[in-house]
Structure 1
Amino acid sequence: MTAAMLYAAVLILIVLALLAVSVSRSRKLKSHDDFMVADRKLSAPVLVFTLLCSWIGAGSLFAGAEFAYRRGLASLWLPAGGWAGLLLVYFTAGRARAFARYTVPDLLETRYSPIARVFGTICIIVSYTAIVSYQFRGGGRILNLAFGVSEPVGTFILAGFVILFTALAGMSSVAYTDLVIGLVVTIGCVIALPAVLARAGGWSAVRAALPASHFTLLGDMGWDEALGYFLPTLTLMVGNQAMYQKFFSAKSE
């Protein structure tokens, strides 16, 4: 079996597993709460993996990897903003969940006013148009590499699949398919890292092949550029609609 055939077989198995999970969860829907916030019954393991999948996507796999290739350890300034944001969200998520709402605009209306809800909704529509578009394009790129379909066709196929399994059962579908994806991503990274290092000749060979600046805090960046990467991901995490909706879906605070 060639590498391309192996990639294709693995992707097909993952897709079938995700569809099976979505169909299974759709049969258990009984209320609006089931669809929007999984009846607020997500366990800790499911919550952890669905939060992981909310943050790790095409941007991390493609743009993040290329950024790390170009800048070395200094590229960690980009995801570090998300890590700091997650720490802040950890201390506020319990209070947000206590409002027992479905979305961030719901929370804004309860805490402030209907006008705040409208502005929040507009911000989410604008931001998620960009976020979802590059996720779909990233998926189209993966299908292009695995199956040879054109990237535009792959993008439409990926978009159709995501819309389908989300529409089947809402958060119940998303959270449990994220559990599958999160496990695949975690296991894949654990296996891939030592394999890639071994193929490169070990850590000493990697250090010898790369510039010394790749192993410093800032690399060839200044503090202004580093903060320019750090702050946007920090604010994105703190106001991330998907993250809060999943916190709203948790079994407990």
Structure 2
Amino acid sequence: MLNELKTISYFHWLDWAVFFAVLSATVAAAVYGIRRLNKKQAAKPAGALDYLLMGRQLTLPLFVATLVATWYGGIFGVNEITFNYGIYNFVTQGAFWYISYLIFAFFITDKIARFKSVTLPDLTGQMFGPKSAKVAAVFTFFYITPVAYVLSLGMFLHMVFGIGVLPGMVLGTLFTGLYSAWGGFRSVVFSDLVQFFVMCSAVLLVVLFSVGTFGGLSFLKANLPASHFTLTGGNSWLNTLIWGFIALSTLIDPSFYQRCFAAKSPAVVKKGILISTFIWFCFDLCTTAGSLYARAVLPQAEPGQAYFFYAIQLLPVGLKGFFVAGILSIILSTLNSFLFIASNTLSFDLLRFRVKNIVLSNRVAIFLVGALAIFMAHIFHGSFKEIWLVLGSYFSACLLVPILMGYLYPGRISDRLFVASSLTSAATMTAWRFIPKHEVLEALDPFYIGILTGLIILLIFRQRGGTPIARITYR
């Protein structure tokens, strides 16, 4: 097999037919969402709640499909980690996260159900106060800006059509932004439904054909480094555990909360998360196994692209096109959600009292967010691991502890204390990155400094009593 290839040269007309059929189905689903929104507006003018959260009418099947589909946009990043470190990917991008999902389902779902919130910063404001909402909105905005997913889409279009990565990012983001902006959350959800089935089927096909062609575990052990079968993959335990804390960011993840706020009931949320966790487990097994085969067969390939090129050469005619459509579905399903949520954060949480038409400002914000994501992808030099670690660690270290303590001790974290804790955590993390340190301390990631700083501040200054902030409902 070749380490790099032109995908077009491997495509039969049948592959193109399958690929464009799946793409057409995605567009049709998004258009259906637009028509549903327009029909509802014709009967009764739809407000911000209907545009942003589908009127809180998300059913269990749609909840599961959109939640699962949203979670895997960084497929090339996952492939890169597996290629370099083996099953370390399943630990850091899988096992840690399953624990967080279960915690959310059993301990967080009922707590957030008491608040009729629209976004995570909105919930934060109801729990702590207006200044906390603004601080949470800033951290949320940069965390949810889809840098890795815009980059993934650019890489995808480059590998399939030979388009440059930068033009690919621009064209792909424009396409995604158009249908997300026009149909709102409905378009996101219905397109996710199509993408969910395609992406799950695509990664399963790669595993089945890999085992049938090369054999099972014995083949992998004979052709991969021994470190690829260790839990840390050669990384330190401190660096491995950082991913565990980042996984806990699920407990405050904006896309998770958006789906929960949109669901018809807390029961839908709890059942949906449990079903989704099982699907995620199966999906992670497939992507990790497929990437291990790619490393074994194409050891000299580019880590982030090896899985893609491996599958193109492995699968028969027709299924190549389906696989490529599956990879596109994985990327688009996350990109559209993150674009939409980041624009919600900008228009609803940061500019709500400065603009009259939240729906219109949200539509404009989607394209501003897309432009920012493209710019930030250049700043990080295209490193998925660096993008996730930096943005994820700041978001988690600065917001995770105060929000969780707000659940555990309602009313004891004041608006001012929340702000002080979050900003001080961010400041100490940034300082730790640049100050000279003893070589023993070099291994201590800034994330640990930030989360410890915030925890100490909250424990020392939290109120002994107190009452929860008055809840506000936005319609």
TM-score, normalised to structure 2's length? 0.49
Matched position secondary structure for 2:36? coil
Residue 243 of structure 2 corresponds to 229
Identity of aligned residues (%): 28
Tell me how far apart the structure 2 counterparts of residues 102 and 217 of structure 1 sit (CA, whole Å): 39
Tell me how far apart the structure 1 counterparts of residues 143 and 129 of structure 2 sit (CA, whole Å): 21
Q: Is the counterpart of residue 158 in structure 1 residue 166 in structure 2?
A: no
How far apart are 1:15 and its partner, in Å?
2.7
Tell me how far apart the structure 1 counterparts of residues 15 and 143 of structure 2 sit (CA, whole Å): 32
How far apart are 1:9 and its partner, in Å?
4.2
Q: Is the counterpart of residue 98 in structure 1 residue 114 in structure 2?
A: yes
Residue 251 of structure 1 corresponds to 264
Tell me how far apart the structure 1 counterparts of residues 236 and 141 of structure 2 sit (CA, whole Å): 33
Relative distance call for 1:234 and 1:200 in structure 2 (3 A) is farther
Residue 207 of structure 1 corresponds to 221
Stretch moving more, 23-32 or 156-165 = 23-32
Residue 104 of structure 2 corresponds to 89
Give unpaired runs (5+ residues) of structure 2. 1-7, 41-45, 267-475
Equivalent of residue 3 in structure 1, options 10, 23, 26: 10
Equivalent positions of 1:53-68 (< 5 A) are 53-57=69-73, 59=74, 61-68=75-82
Once superposed, what is the RMSD of the aligned Cα atoms?
2.0
Please give the per-residue CA displacement for 1:138-159, whole angstroms capped at 9, x wherever unaligned: 1111111111211111111110
Please give the per-residue CA displacement for 1:87-144, whole angstroms capped at 9, x wherever unaligned: 2221312331331221011111111111111011111112123xx1220111111111
Matching residue's letter, 2:256: M
Residue 126 of structure 2 corresponds to 110
Give unpaired runs (5+ residues) of structure 1. none
Matching residue's letter, 1:196: S
Matching residue's letter, 1:89: F
Question: Is the CA contact 2:53–2:185 (under 8 Å) kept in the aligned structure 1?
Answer: yes
Matched position secondary structure for 1:118? helix
Relative distance call for 1:7 and 1:243 in structure 2 (3 A) is farther
Stretch moving more, 143-152 or 213-222 = 213-222
Larger helix proportion of the pair: 1
How far apart are 1:220 and its partner, in Å?
2.1
Question: Is the CA contact 1:49–1:178 (under 8 Å) kept in the aligned structure 2?
Answer: yes
Please give the per-residue CA displacement for 1:165-207, whole angstroms capped at 9, x wherever unaligned: 1112211111111111111111112222111233333321111
Tell me how far apart the structure 1 counterparts of residues 22 and 110 of structure 2 sit (CA, whole Å): 33
Q: Is the counterpart of residue 14 in structure 1 residue 32 in structure 2?
A: no
Relative distance call for 1:218 and 1:188 in structure 2 (3 A) is same
Question: Is the CA contact 2:68–2:196 (under 8 Å) kept in the aligned structure 1?
Answer: yes
| Structure 1 runs, 4 residues or longer, greater than 6 Å off | none
Question: Is the CA contact 2:32–2:190 (under 8 Å) kept in the aligned structure 1?
Answer: no
Relative distance call for 1:11 and 1:164 in structure 2 (3 A) is farther
Between the two structures, name the one with larger relative contact order (CA 8 Å, sep ≥ 6): 1
Matched position secondary structure for 2:87? helix
Please give the per-residue CA displacement for 1:36-81, whole angstroms capped at 9, x wherever unaligned: 1112111212111211122111x2x111112112211122232133
Matching residue's letter, 1:74: Y
Question: Is the CA contact 2:150–2:173 (under 8 Å) kept in the aligned structure 1?
Answer: yes
Question: Is the CA contact 1:8–1:146 (under 8 Å) kept in the aligned structure 2?
Answer: no
Tell me how far apart the structure 1 counterparts of residues 19 and 25 of structure 2 sit (CA, whole Å): 10
TM-score, normalised to structure 1's length? 0.90
Residue 179 of structure 1 corresponds to 193
Matched position secondary structure for 2:11? helix
Matched position secondary structure for 2:235? coil
Tell me how far apart the structure 1 counterparts of residues 109 and 21 of structure 2 sit (CA, whole Å): 35
Tell me how far apart the structure 2 counterparts of residues 187 and 54 of structure 1 sit (CA, whole Å): 16
Relative distance call for 1:8 and 1:136 in structure 2 (3 A) is farther
Matching residue's letter, 1:21: A
Residue 150 of structure 2 corresponds to 136
Q: Flag the structure with larger Rg.
A: 2
Q: Is the counterpart of residue 127 in structure 1 residue 139 in structure 2?
A: no
How far apart are 1:233 and its partner, in Å?
2.8
Matched position secondary structure for 1:219? coil
Relative distance call for 1:175 and 1:183 in structure 2 (3 A) is same
Residue 252 of structure 2 corresponds to 239
Tell me how far apart the structure 2 counterparts of residues 83 and 167 of structure 1 sit (CA, whole Å): 31
